[in-house]
A and B are shown apart, each in its own frame.
Chain A
Amino acid sequence: MTRLFKMLTFQAATLATAGLMLSTAAAMTRAAPMPAAASVQIANFTFKAQVVTVKPGTTVTWTNADDIPHTVTSNNGLFKSKVLDSGDKFSFTFAKPGQFGYFCSLHPHMTGTIVVKA
């Protein structure tokens, strides 16, 4: 009897543990599709912040808050937005580590850098 009780208790504990593991797995499954994100504001002819550090896989979104159109143009040709009028957005996902300089091709004195590191 005692032995049976022990076995039952063991099975219940196993089930409970398995259940916990399942729910953890479910939570992880829910979290996985939400990618890391960062944002950069374009305001007063500057990129804010000028240097943004993110983890690989992060999607960076730029929003033009100025009355004047701007672009987000990579220094080395990796990415280039179309012209962003007031309120327009542009996103790019940085897969690999590195330093990625960019500028506004209309107003090239406007510069910024995305630093990607694990």
Chain B
Amino acid sequence: MLDDMNGDRRGFLKCMAWAGTGALFAFDGGIGSSVGLDAALASPVVRSAAPFTFAQISDSHIGFNKPPNADARATFREAIAKVKALPQRPDFVIHTGDVSQLSRDEEFDDADQMLKELGLPVFFIPGEHDMLDPDGGKAFLKRFGKGSRGAGWYSFDHRGVHFVALVNVADLKPGGMGNLGAEQLAWLKADLSGRPSSQPIVVFAHIPLWTVYADWGWGTDDSAEALKLLARFGSVTVLNGHIHQITQKVEGRIAFHTARSTAFPQPAPGTAPSPGPLKVPPEQLHDMLGITDAVFVRGHDRIALIDSTLTA
């Protein structure tokens, strides 16, 4: 199996170039392929065994009401409708943080109520906006973090795939970026030990687990420790949010991907004086918000991530 992994990753990176309303990228042991979303929908990936899908929603910022989006609740509702309309009903949904704008009860309530309309299990991890109650994240954990440890981390298995939810927005250090901390890293080590390297792993966390742009704090200070623990696995997919735009990269056998927000876009790294909301005109907003649909094809260790906007 390991031999199969030594494919041409440059080829993979090259074919990740994409444009338009969405893209599909798939990988099989490092050898990837990519087609436009329209083509992917017209001719779905060949599935050799019962596949399953899950959807990723991120950065809903319920309560945000400034330019370019006067109503983040409305766009969240549209994103949920988008998940409902997926050609294959996902087994579950992950929310990669910043559920709320200010950790207010009514913001968490509204997000919760809207997500319940899906009738699907939803797995959450907090973003820094979900840590703003006086108790530093307890309000979020009480509602969305049942059964989790520490600041809200946990893992679970689904149809042979191991999912790990990490928290990198707690106890942040002056001058630093995201932070996992020693306690969580020790837990991760124990969680992964004894698992066969052939088991596909999906890791999700709010802030990217690689450095997208240090000047804006878009990275995680101690992510290298976590990635070291993940390096022996044949298929690792890391799903993040926080930066409100799609970025992706492959390093070794680890594929990284960030999702769009359902609330507002942020500028590409270094293209604006600050990472504050990108104030796009109303007619462009829906092109810059969206969801991610992840498709597993079993027996191929293959995951396809399909990003679609609220317009598409």
0/1 per residue, B84-112, Cβ < 8 Å to A?
Answer: 00000000000000000111000000000
What total count of A-B pairs have CB within 8 Å? 57
Residues 164-175 of B, flagged 1 when their CB comes within 8 A of A and 0 if not, give 000000001111
In whole angstroms, how far apart are the Cα atoms of A106 and B172 in the complex? 8
Residues of A within 8 A of B132 (CB): 69, 83, 106
Residue of A nearest to B67 (CB): A67
Q: Tell whether A109 pairs with B102 under 8 Å between CB atoms, given A45-B276, A66-B276, A86-B66.
A: no
Q: Which residue of A lies closest to B66 (CB)?
A: A67
Instruction: State A65–B274 Cα separation when bound (angstroms).
Output: 13
Measured CB to CB, the closest approach of chain A to B285, in angstroms, equals 15
Contact with A along B256-279 (1 / 0, CB 8 A): 000000000000000001111100
A91 located at the interface, meaning its Cβ lies under 8 Å from any Cβ of chain B in the complex: no
| List of B residues within 8 angstroms of A106 by Cβ | 128-129, 131-132, 172
Q: Are B102 and A46 in contact (CB under 8 A)?
A: no
Closest to B176 in A: A108
Interface residues of A in 84-118 (CB under 8 A from B): 85-86, 101-103, 105-111
Q: A90: shortest Cβ distance to chain B, in Å?
A: 14
Do A109 and B277 have beta carbons less than 8 Å apart?
no
- Whether B217 lies near A108 (C-beta < 8 A) is yes
A85 touches B102 (CB 8 A): yes
Knowing that A111-B174, A111-B175 are A-B contacts, what are 11 other residue pairs whose CB atoms are under 8 Å apart, sorted by A's residue number?
Answer: A45-B216, A66-B276, A69-B102, A69-B129, A85-B102, A101-B174, A102-B174, A103-B175, A108-B174, A108-B177, A109-B176
Q: Can you report 13 residue pairs joining A to B where beta carbons are below 8 Å apart?
A: A44-B274, A44-B276, A45-B275, A67-B66, A67-B277, A69-B129, A69-B132, A73-B174, A103-B175, A106-B172, A107-B217, A109-B175, A110-B217
Contact of B134 with A by CB under 8 A? yes
Interchain CB contact under 8 A, B102 and A68: no
Q: Which residues of A contact B173 (CB under 8 A)?
A: 108
Bound state CA distance, A107 and B177, in angstroms? Answer: 7
Contacts of B175 in A (CB 8 A): 103, 108-109, 111
Query: How many residues on chain A are close to B (CB under 8 Å)?
Result: 23
* Bound Cα distance from A30 to B202, whole angstroms: 67
**Interchain nearest-CB distance for A45 vs B (Å):** 4
CA distance A48 to B16 in the complex (A): 40
Minimal Cβ-Cβ distance residue in A for B173: A108
Query: Which of B102, B128, B134, B274 contacts A66, CB < 8 Å?
Result: B274
Asked whether any CB of chain A lies closer than 8 Å to the CB of B191, the reply is: no
Chain B interface category by residue count: 20 to 34
Nearest residue (CB) in B for A71 is: B132
- Verify if A41 is at the interface (C-beta below 8 Å from B): no
Given contacts A69-B129, A86-B66, contact A108 B172 (CB under 8 A): yes
Taking CB atoms, residues of chain B closer than 8 Å to A108 are 172-177, 217
Residues of B within 8 A of A (CB): 66-67, 101-103, 128-129, 131-132, 134, 172-177, 214-217, 273-277
Q: Does A109 lie within 8 Å of B177, measured CB to CB?
A: yes
Nearest A residue (CB) for B272:
A44
Q: Are B216 and A82 in contact (CB under 8 A)?
A: no
A110 to B, closest residue via Cβ: B217
Most chain A CB atoms below 10 A, which of B66, B128, B177? B128
A107 to B172, CA, bound (A): 8
Given contacts A109-B176, A111-B174, A111-B175, contact A44 B273 (CB under 8 A): yes
A69 — which chain B residues lie within 8 A by C-beta?
A: 101-102, 129, 132
Cα distance, A109 to B172, chains bound together (Å): 10
Report the Cα distance A68→B129, complex, angstroms.
10
Q: Which residues of chain A are near B217, meaning CB under 8 Å?
A: 107-110
Bound Cα distance A38, B304 (Å): 54
Residue A75 interfacial (CB < 8 Å) = yes
| Residues in chain A near residue B134, CB distance under 8 A | 82
Nearest B residue to A73, CB-CB:
B174
Q: How far is the CA of A56 from the CA of B131 in the complex (A)?
A: 33
Q: Is the CB of B277 within 8 A of A68?
A: yes
